Every structure is written in C-alpha cells, then in structure tokens.
A and B are shown apart, each in its own frame.
Chain A
C-alpha cells in the first residue's frame, strides 16, 4: 500500500492557490494516485486566508491535523509561520518570502514578523525549509500571477509527493489557460531550480 502524504497550502485570497490545488489534483489523477482535498475559502475575496489540505494516498480524511503535514507550502511568509503547527520535525516547509501586509499592520495593530527570524525559526523546527521570493520569480517568468506555479515547481523538486515533473507539467497543460502556459511552465522551472539551490 502506498504511503499517505499530506500537503497543507496556505495563501491570502487571490494568490491562486485554488488553481494550484486543481493542478495537483489533475497531476495525481495522471499519476494514478488517489487524492482528496478540502478547502476553506469562505472569505477569500475579502483578503482572508485560504487553507487547503491535500491528501495523497489511501487515507479517508480530507483535513490535516496539527503535526500531520508532510509538506507545508505558504504563499505568503507570515501565513506560513501562522500555519507552522501543521508541521512536525520531519516536515518540509516551502515559503514565498514576499510579504502581503495585512491591513491590521497598516492601521497599527501588530508588527509584521522579521523575515530572517521567521526563516530561522521555521528552519530550526522542520527538516527542510525552502524559502525564496516566488513573486520575483513569477515576475521574471512573465506573469506576476504565476506565484502558484513557481511554488508548484519547488514542491515538485522536494519529491515528497508521489508526483513527477512530467505529471505536474501535463496537469498544468490541462488546467491552466493556454495563453499563460509558457509563462507558467517557465515559472514552474524557476521554482524548481530555486528549490534545488535552497
């Protein structure tokens, strides 16, 4: 029986993590891996946090408890930190380092965490941290909105999930808009390379 692997994705509404889930769902189908997921996206459009749980393998549950994530992938650094309890010592964490300032900070309620400290904390508590500016790479790939594809590249590089580069790229062809495909594939490659060098 194949081992169950669990991925938690956190993002701020509008960062494209729903598309990332749908690509991973398709990739799992192509790989012949059973996959279930759940998403809490109630107020995504009003700037709230969107959390997705993706479970690959034969588990029945569609949510992931604290400590149970094999991979935590954050589209925004403070959100990665907020979700850190999903990890255990052996988890891999991937985070975009480009902050999206919560409006609470702008009106003086709270201070945004220091990015170096944030990385040091996550690195000390998990097996591996892959942290880089995915937004910059998305821009470099020609589409600022492809942060999700950059992160999928990094995720695929970790090889924690039973999905290969070919599976994910084929899924991107099925699930993303043809007009953006080239930029998306480039974004994926940049993310993959960034994880190799991280």
Chain B
C-alpha cells in the first residue's frame, strides 16, 4: 500500500513537504485531484497519481493548469472535494478560470495549491502569488513548516465548504522540499462522486448573473475577514514592545533569530498563516502593543502594505518597516543568518555572528550547470538544425521554450535566443519572423506544445508567418520528472484508460503547409529534411521523435551499445567542441567515452570526420 494511505492515526512519519500536503488532502477526504506538473509541486502530484492507482482517489494529469483548475471546479460543483496542484506560474495560466470561479463558487471543498519559488531554483520568475488572493478575492492559507502543511489542508477544505468558494493554499519551495516528522491523523471518508444540481441563474456567468455573484463574493470576503480574525493560523506569541510580523518559512528564521539573540521577552510576534484577507483587528491590536515593527516576508511587501494600511486607519504612527536596502529584500529567499542580522540591527541588539570562512582566496571553481543527458535526443536535433542552417548559409534566430531542451542554451550548442514562458516559442516566433528579417526557427517540447504551444502555431498559420517550428517530441514531460502528457503512449507504462493525441495529426489538421517527421539519431537524413523545411516559405513544422533516454532507461527498454573512441581518432575534437556529450572525458590529452554513461545514440560517431568512434565490441564490455 502507498505509505500515504496508511490508516494508522497517531503514527509518525518523516515526510517531504509535498507528501505531507498529499497526506493532509487524503485525511481531508479529497476525492478528485488534478495537476499540470511543475517544480516545486511535482512530488505532490506524483503522490496523488500513485495513490489513485491503489485507491478510488481520482487524479489526472491535465494539458495545462487552466484545465486542471477547470476539471477540479467541475468536480467541486458536483460536491466532490477537489484539489488542483500547480507551480506559481501555473496560476497565471489558470488565472482566467480562477477570477470568475471566485464568483461562481463551489459546492464541495476546492483547494488550489500554488507552489511559489523564491530564488527561482527551477522557475522563470519569482512572483509572489499572495496577490492572486487579493485580486481574486479568495481566501489564502500558508503553512510555515512541513508539519503545518500537513494539518492546514483539512482546514483549507473546511474553509472552502464553509464559504462555498475555492481556497488558495500557498507554499514556497522550502516547504515543498523540506522534510519533517508528521503525526498521521484519521482519514475522513472519501467521496469521489457527487451530484450536480442545475442552477443556471447562479452558475452561468452572463453579465446579469455575474453582477449578482460579485455581490456574493464581497459578502464572502466579509465572512472570511471574520474567520481570519480568529483563525489559529494567525499566531500571536509574546507581548514585548518589539513587533515582528511574518509569514511562511520566514517565521522559522524569526523564531531561530529570537532564540539566538535571546530577546524572546522583548518580542511580540504575529505569524500570518491566513494570509487573505488580512485580519484588521488582530493586526491593529498587535500593532498597538508595539514600539516598532519589522515585517519579515519573502517576496513582495504584501503584509507590510497591509499592516501600514491598517495602522493608518487606526491612527497609529509607529514605524513599520520591512523591505528596504538596509533591511530585507524583495529578491530571492531569506536565510536564518540574514534574518538574525536584520532583526538584531533593527532592534539594536548586538550579536556576534559566526563569520563564514574567508573564501576570497579560493581558486576559480569550474561551473557545473545542469546539462542535457548523454544521448539526449535534444542534443542531436540541435546539432542538426545548426548544421542545416550552416550548410544553407542562413542567419537564424532561435526562440525557445521551457523544458529540458532549454538547457541547449549553453555552449557549445547555444541554441536558445529568447524565452518568456511556456508556449511562448510559437507566439514570439511570429513577431520575430515579421520584425527581424532573419530566418526564425523556434523549439518547443511535446508537453509544452500541448500545454500552450498550439494557439501560437494556429496564429502563425492564419497570419502566414514565415517560420519553422521544431517540436522536440521525446514522448514525455521530462524536465519536471517524467510525467505523462496527452502525446504519451501510456501502454508503455502498462496503464490503461488513457487516449493518445498524435502531434503530427494535430499539426496537419491545423493546416500547416510543410510538415516533416525526423528521427534525430539519423543525422544525415535529418539534416536534409531540416534544410528543406528551412527553405520553405511559410510555416513549416519539424517533429523530431525520439524517446527521452532517461525515460527509456526507466522503462527498462533495451539499451543500445555504447561507443568508444578508436585509435583512428586524430584528436580534432569535433565531438567535444560541437556536442559536449557528458559521456566524453579527456584522458592523457585524448577524448574518451565513459561506457557507463554513453547511451549509444551514435550522434558523435556520425559527425566524427575520421569515423573513429565505433561501438564497443561485445567481449570488451
């Protein structure tokens, strides 16, 4: 049985934050779960996926986050407790649905998890999604630890049912990817089917209905305000004159700082865990007891602005500070020493830090950026597109997209010139084609194509842009940990009950005038096909089909024979300087191939001018 389905209340388990949230949802009786994957939330979705195979919990991987919110909204409208999981930027994609779902509301509890990523460990920006609560008018809860993350989920569901509207649950990477000990609670009965009661005058958002629904949303806001006033997630500790207002993981850094500085008796702390709407009376009462207040929150000055507005209404003039050059930054994540220093400085407490060792005299350390795996099909496609462009002597521009293939940005491939967000490769390409005067070749992965690449391609067909789109179809959503997408052959995973959408059929159906499918491990043929596509005037699409090697290895598909560099090698190093496959290494000034890493894609063998790279002979292995 999946460990998170263990029905032993009181047992303790060391869980990853994401697992703790999944367990919290199971205990809350969630029946319907949906997601589009994204770090740092991916293990939460994975837990649901795994549990759905062993229980009646329903889970689906959706085409994108908007769809994930929509399917969960449908289930919640039938009275089923539902949860949609995504990373912070996913909520941008889902925002259109979210804003009006806030009006329509839900019947069964619905929780939308947004996993923010301060410091951008694996994201394209570090937006602070607390503002989504503000703009939508929906309640938001935020845990400070793994243990709280586990317990807060049931409260989020209860709150959602009480107010009959979705609740936003916000985490940050350091919650999702921390581990702590969780005490299991009882599992409430799970309802996976409900019933839908027709009520178009409240559920179909034509203007006349929405005008009414907005009134309801504002009434709910008032109710939520009252609930926030008494919510145990807004924690008050201590009653000294030095106020500290904080949220999320910052609370932990503050607690440690207060302990280290020995100032517990002087501090009055308010930790906001019910972060929208902010409780005005609670904050006012807190402020009234303080001489001065420091607001410790990662990201934007959300609490700081809220507290200042409340102080203004209450006629309080005490200093309330947070974001400032000498205090705390809007950038990146906080850490305990930083918070300790700022708390110490702000309240004038002397503190002797343990100085880090001096690293100014260390020799330069070579970077170790993540790189495409040995034998990654993306490397082959990139090489071939570059080669084709070189042979044609055309100047190219490469808008890219988000996935493993974005790693092709780095030299020696250097195959990404522009990137905004998922799906942007197809849209931006049109602008570049029109305005740059260069040949535009953009790249998109299979999952990203389904997620949000299709509208941009339709746009290119309709507006007759002159561009080539390369769809890097490696048969899986690799970057975020090999999740399925609509193009994936689920029978390979021995899973039933799934359809499959053919990218080629979609592209042809869109009316793309020039469509080619290539097998990127066949270098010569691929380069010829790409050259043809590049010369086509209008929209051309190349679908490069080859399974992600890491996924193929996970599937235990037969391995190809590894290659080795024979003594025919004359040390041109074309393989190294053009491909930099991580299976290469240098030994006694010669290129060697690590047979344990080489996946036998044969790309290097096909480009070696001496034909010096050959398969390892059986007996040698």
Contacts and interface: CB of A to CB of B under 8 A. Distances in A.
B370 interface: yes
B506 interface: no
A45 B577 CA distance: 23
A184 B146 CA distance: 30
A107 B411 contact: yes
A47 B371 CA distance: 6
A13 to B, nearest CB: 8
B404 A46 contact: yes
A82 to B, nearest CB: 5
B1 to A, nearest CB: 18
Contact of B178 (A29, A37, A47): A37
B362 interface: yes
Contact of B359 (A42, A85, A101): A85
Interface string B300-329: 000000000000000000000000000000
A178 interface: no
Nearest to B173: A40
B363 A117 contact: yes
A38 B178 contact: yes
A64 to B, nearest CB: 8
Nearest to A26: B14
B357 A38 contact: no
Interface in B68-94: none
Contact of B366 (A45, A109, A125): A109
Interface stretch (A55-63, A135-143, A152-160, A189-197): A55-63
Contacts of A39: 177-179
B337 A67 contact: yes
A46 B355 contact: no
Interface in A110-145: 110-114, 117-118, 121, 125-126
B180 A62 contact: yes
B255 A110 contact: no
A46 B370 contact: yes
Nearest to A48: B370
Interface string B358-369: 110111111111
A65 B253 CA distance: 10
A135 to B, nearest CB: 13
Contact of A67 (B39, B356, B369, B586): B356
Interface in B1-29: 12, 14
Contacts of B353: 67
Nearest to A126: B357
B368 A84 contact: no
B366 A104 contact: yes
B274 interface: no
B367 A65 contact: no
A150 B174 CA distance: 28
A66 interface: yes
A43 B122 contact: yes
A134 B249 CA distance: 35
B610 interface: no
A125 B358 contact: yes
A101 B587 CA distance: 11
Contacts of A60: 145, 251-253, 255-256
Given A47-B370, A106-B580, A121-B362, 8 more contacts: A42-B121, A42-B122, A47-B368, A61-B252, A81-B362, A88-B355, A107-B411, A125-B357
Interface of A: 12-13, 21-22, 25-26, 29, 34-43, 45-49, 59-68, 78-79, 81-82, 84-91, 101-107, 109-114, 117-118, 121, 125-126
8 contacts: A42-B39, A47-B373, A60-B252, A88-B354, A103-B582, A106-B580, A113-B364, A125-B357
Closest 10 CB pairs of A and B: A110-B366, A65-B337, A67-B356, A43-B370, A48-B370, A60-B252, A46-B370, A42-B122, A38-B178, A62-B178
Interface of B: 12, 14, 39-40, 121-122, 145-146, 173-174, 177-181, 249, 251-253, 255-256, 333, 335-338, 353-359, 361-373, 404, 407, 411-412, 550, 576-577, 580, 582, 584-586
